[in-house]
Amino acid sequence: MGKSVAIYSSKTNEKLCNIEAPQKWWSDLLYYKEWKDPEVIKKWAWQQAHMIVVYLNEIGVTKPGDVLPSDFRCSCLVCGRDSVVTFARHWRWSSKFELQGFACLNPSCAMNKVIVPLVLCSRIDEMPIEYLPDGWARPTRD
What string of DSSP letters covers 20-84?
E-EEEEEETTEEEEEEPPHHHHHHHHHHHHHHHHHHHHHTT--STTPPPPTT--B--TTT-SS-E
Q: State whether the Cα torsion 55-58-59-64 is positive or negative.
A: positive
Domain span at residue 119?
Answer: 4-129
Q: State whether the Cα torsion 55-59-62-63 is positive or negative.
A: negative
Instruction: For residue 113, report the phi and psi dihedrals to the nearest 5 degrees.
Output: 65, 15
**pLDDT for 13:** 94
Q: Is residue 134 part of a domain?
A: no
**pLDDT for 27:** 57
Residues of the chain with pLDDT under 50: 1
Q: Is residue 16 part of a domain?
A: yes
Q: Is residue 141 part of a domain?
A: no
Q: Is residue 139 part of a domain?
A: no
d(CA 78, CA 51): 12
In the chain, the number of structural domains is: 1
Q: Is residue 142 part of a domain?
A: no
Q: Is residue 135 part of a domain?
A: no
**pLDDT for 1:** 44
Q: Is residue 24 part of a domain?
A: yes
d(CA 86, CA 88): 7
Q: Is residue 103 part of a domain?
A: yes
